[in-house]
Structure 1
Amino acid sequence: MAPQREWLDRDFYADLGVSSDASADQIKKAYRRLARELHPDANPGDTAAEERFKRVSEAHSVLADETKRREYDEARTLMASGRFRGGGGGGGFSGGGFSGGADGFDLGDLFGGGAAGGGGGGLGDMLGDLLGGRGRPGGTQQRQRRGNDLETQTTLAFRDAVQGTTVSLRVTSPSPCTACHGSGARPGSSPRTCPTCNGSAFVTRSQGHFGFSEPCPDCQGTGTKIDQPCTDCGGNGVTVRPRTINVRVPQGVEDGQRIRLAGQGEAGMRGAPSGDLYVTVHVKPDAVFTRSGNDLKVQLPVSISELVLGATVSVPTLDSSVGVKIPAGTSDGRTLRLKGRGVPKRSGGSGDLLVTVKVSVPTTLDEPAIDAMTRYAEAEKASGFDPRAGWGR
C-alpha cells in the first residue's frame, strides 16, 4: 500500500476519540488525557500502549494545526466522494489514476495552482507535510517529516520562578538512535543515494496527456536506500528512550507560562528535524510574597504605636531585607512603594515592592501597658480625635 494511502486512510479523529466537528479545546483535552494514559513511562514494556501513544501524538500534530486540519479534512472529503482514487483499485491516493470527465477535479485544485509540483499552498503542501515531504517534487530531505512536538510540565518555588533557575526534566520519547546517530544505517555503513530516483525521492510517469511525479517506490520517497538497517532502531533512526534535559527557566516566569525548547521534541525519522518541547511552568505560592505583574506585594505587620509615632521597620526582599520608614500618622492598610525591589524584567530593571501596613493588635496586656493605653485613650478623646467622624452619614 502506498504511503499516501496509509496516511489519508487514517482517521485522526477516531485516534483521539473525538468527533470530526470537535473544537480545538476538545482536541487538546482528548490528546492530553490519552497522552497521560498511554505514555511509555506509565506503561513500561507495553508495546501496544507505545504504538497507540505514537498514533495519538501523530493525530494531534495534524488536528491541532488549524491549516493542516482543514486541508486534511478536504483531502478525506475528496476520497469519500470518489473523485480522488488510487490506480490499483480501491479508495485512497497513490499519486495516479485520477478520474476524468465532468466529475473529475482540476489538478490545480489538488496542488495549490498550476501543474503538479507547481506553486505552493493547498493540498499539495498538506500532503507534503503529512507524507514526510513526499507530496510533490523538490521536497527531498529539506521537506522530510518533522518530529512531533511534546508537552511536559514542572513546578517551581516562587522565588526560583522570580529569580530564574535551571531544572532537570526527565522525558521519555522517540529520540535519535544512539547506535546509528539517527541515520537508520548500521554502524560502519551509510545510506546510499537511491539509484531509481537519483536521490530526488520522486519518479515521473505519463498517463494520457499528463505527466505525474510520485514518490519513488524503491526508497519510499526518502531519496536514499539503506542496505544494512541499524539493528537497534530497525532503520528508522529513532528509538523510544528516557533522556534528561536541563532547562534554563528565565527570571520572571509566571504561573501557567509555557517555555518552548526548539528541537527538543520527538526526533524526526532518519535524521529529519526534531519537534519542539513545550514546558508548562507551575509556581508554588510563597509564605511572604504575592505577585502583580512585575511588582511584588507583601503585608507588613505593625503595631498601633508604630503607625501613630512612625518607625523604621525591616522588610524582606527577594535576596535580603531593607529598612522601610513608616511616617508618623500612617493609616492602617496604606501601601508604601519601594522602587526596583520587585520582579526582574526581561527588558532590564525590576518592578517595585509594594508594602502594605497591617496593624497587629495584642491579645493580652500587662497592667502597665493597660494603664498606658487608658491614658492614651483619654488623651486621644481630649484632643477631639474621632475615628468615625463623618462615617455612616
Structure 2
Amino acid sequence: MVRKKDNYQILGVSRNATLDEIKKAYRKIAMRYHPDKNPGDKRAEERFKEASMAYQALTEFNPQHTGDQSSGRDTEGQGNGGFRRASDSDSKINDFFDGLFRAGPQTKRKTKARRTVRAKGSRGSNIRTGLTLPFTEAMLGTERSIRIHRNEECDSCNGTGAQKDSPESTCPNCMGNGEILDQLLRGNATENKLCERCRGTGVLIHRPCQTCHGAGATRKERSLLVKTPPGIESGKSLRLPGQGECGLRGGSYGDLFVDIVVKSHPVLQRDGYDLRCQVPVGFATATLGGEIHVPTLTDPIVLNLPRGTQPNQTFRLTGRGIKKSEDENGDLLVTIVIEIPTTLTRRQEQLLKRYIELEEKVLSQES
C-alpha cells in the first residue's frame, strides 16, 4: 500500500472537523499562499494548489469526508499493474487546477484556445445615429451621405496600444488568460472575473503608444454612404456591418445602426404600398368633366375627370404608388373633394339663378 499526505493534515484540521471548520482552515491557507500575493514563488504555488485540492476533495467531491480519497490512502489496483484508475473526482480536480496553473497537455490546449480568442481581440461597440428623409425620397429610395464620429484602430501602433519597439509581457495577475478565477475564496462557488490589471487583454504594456496613449484607438470623423430601400418607414433602422467602433486589440468593428425618420407630405399619405391624396375640384369641372393635375412621387400627372364626378369619388391610378418589387408598384388613390365657392360675381350669380330656373322647368316637365 502506498500512502500520500492526508487531506486533513494538509489543511491542519482533525478528521472530525465540520464543513465550516474545513472552509475556515482552507481560507487561511489560501489567503497566505495565493499566487496573486506570491508572484513567481513556486513553493507557494504548490502549497496553494495542494491545499485547494485537499479542500475540493473534502467538500465538493466527498461531502461526508469519508473514503480513501479524503483520507489520502491509495490502494493497489486489481489487474492494473499496481496502478489505480483515476476517478471522476480526480479528473475534475486536475481539470480545475490545470485551468488555473496551465499545467499538463490538456490545459495547454485550453490555454492555446483562450490565447487564440484573445489574439482576435474583442468586438467593438455598436453605434446609433439618425437620418431624416423627405417623404418622396423615403418612398422612392435614396442614397444619403452621413458623417459619424467613431473610435478607429490607431495607425501608429496598429491597435496594440504600445510603442512599436516596446515588447509586451504576459499579465502576472491572470497569467495571460485575461480572466481570474474568483472562486477559491468563496467556498464552492465559481465565477470568472475580468482581470482588472490588464483589462482582459492578458498582456501588459510597458511603453504606451504616444498617439493613442495606450488605448489602441483614436477618435475620427467618417463620411459614409447610406442607401435606403424604397418605402422605408419612420422607426426603421438600417444596419451597416463593420461601421461601428473598432474592437480591442485587433478585434472586429461593431455595427452602425441608422434610425430613420420620414417627414410628412403636404398632400400624399401612405397606405401600405399605396398612396392616397385628396384633390379639390370646382363643382363646374366635376359636373362637366375635365382635366385636373394630381401630385405623385415624381412629377404631377393629368387625370381626366368624367362628367358628373361625385363628391368623395375615388380614382385609382395603377402603378403610381410605392415599389413592391422589381416588377410591381402600389397604386395612387385620388379622392375628389368638390369645392363650393363662398363668393360669386354678379354675372356668376345671374347664371346660377338661370340654371336653377332651367332645372326646375326640366323637373316639372318630367313629372
* Shared fold, TM over 0.5: yes
Report how far residue 356 of structure 1 moved. 1.0
Matched residues in 2 for 1:165 and 1:224: separation? 47
- The change in CA–CA distance for 1:143 and 1:179 in structure 2 (over 3 A counts) is closer
Mapped pair 1:162 → 2:120: no
- The change in CA–CA distance for 1:363 and 1:252 in structure 2 (over 3 A counts) is same
Match of 2:107 in 1: none
Matched residues in 1 for 2:152 and 2:279: separation? 51
Mapped pair 1:182 → 2:159: yes
- The change in CA–CA distance for 1:322 and 1:368 in structure 2 (over 3 A counts) is same
TM-superposition CA deviations, 1:81-103 (whole Å, max 9, x none): xxxx9x759xxxxxx97996699
- 8 Å Cα contact 1:146-1:275 kept in structure 2: yes
Match of 2:313 in 1: 334
Mapped pair 1:308 → 2:297: no
Name which of 138, 145, 150 aligns with 2:127: 150
TM-superposition CA deviations, 1:115-174 (whole Å, max 9, x none): 79x9xxxxxxxxxxxxxxx9x747514763211212221211112212223333333333
Match of 1:275 in 2: 254
Matched residues in 2 for 1:371 and 1:270: separation? 88
Mapped pair 1:256 → 2:256: no
TM-superposition CA deviations, 1:26-52 (whole Å, max 9, x none): xxxxxxxxxxxxxxxxxxxxxxxxxxx
Matched residues in 1 for 2:362 and 2:53: separation? 100
- Which residue identity does 1:338 align to in structure 2? L
SS of residue matched to 1:140: helix
1:28-177 superposed matches below 5 A: 137=114, 140-141=117-118, 144-177=121-154
- 8 Å Cα contact 1:99-1:105 kept in structure 2: no
Give 5+ residue unaligned stretches, structure 1. 1-84, 90-95, 107-113, 119-133, 208-212, 386-393
Report how far residue 379 of structure 1 moved. 3.8
- Which residue identity does 1:366 align to in structure 2? T
Report how far residue 358 of structure 1 moved. 0.8
Match of 1:367 in 2: 346
Matched residues in 1 for 2:55 and 2:329: separation? 67
Matched residues in 2 for 1:232 and 1:346: separation? 50
Matched residues in 1 for 2:31 and 2:147: separation? 47
- Between structure 1 and structure 2, the one with the greater Rg is 2
Match of 2:330 in 1: 351
Report how far residue 291 of structure 1 moved. 1.3
- The change in CA–CA distance for 1:199 and 1:101 in structure 2 (over 3 A counts) is closer
SS of residue matched to 2:139: helix
Matched residues in 2 for 1:202 and 1:265: separation? 26
Name which of 278, 286, 291 aligns with 2:270: 291
SS of residue matched to 2:323: coil
Matched residues in 2 for 1:190 and 1:384: separation? 105
TM-superposition CA deviations, 1:327-372 (whole Å, max 9, x none): 2222111111111111223555321111111112222211221122
1:204-283 superposed matches below 5 A: 222=201, 229-283=208-262
- Which residue identity does 2:229 align to in structure 1? P
- Which residue identity does 1:158 align to in structure 2? F
TM-superposition CA deviations, 1:8-43 (whole Å, max 9, x none): xxxxxxxxxxxxxxxxxxxxxxxxxxxxxxxxxxxx
SS of residue matched to 2:260: strand
SS of residue matched to 2:249: helix
Report how far residue 226 of structure 1 moved. 5.7
Q: What is the root-mean-square deviation in Å for CA atoms of aligned residues?
A: 4.5
- The percentage of aligned residue pairs carrying the same residue is 35
- Which residue identity does 1:277 align to in structure 2? L
Name which of 299, 320, 325 aligns with 1:320: 299
- 8 Å Cα contact 2:235-2:259 kept in structure 1: yes
Matched residues in 2 for 1:248 and 1:357: separation? 36
SS of residue matched to 1:364: coil
Larger relative contact order, structure 1 or 2 (CA cutoff 8 Å, min sep 6)? 2
- 8 Å Cα contact 1:251-1:346 kept in structure 2: no
Matched residues in 2 for 1:98 and 1:309: separation? 101
- 8 Å Cα contact 2:119-2:249 kept in structure 1: no
- The change in CA–CA distance for 1:291 and 1:181 in structure 2 (over 3 A counts) is farther
- 8 Å Cα contact 2:171-2:198 kept in structure 1: no
- Which residue identity does 2:136 align to in structure 1? R
Count of matched residue positions in the alignment of Structure 1 and Structure 2 = 263
Matched residues in 1 for 2:331 and 2:158: separation? 50
Matched residues in 2 for 1:365 and 1:218: separation? 87
- Which residue identity does 1:254 align to in structure 2? E
- 8 Å Cα contact 2:120-2:249 kept in structure 1: no
Matched residues in 2 for 1:154 and 1:344: separation? 21
Matched residues in 1 for 2:303 and 2:247: separation? 57
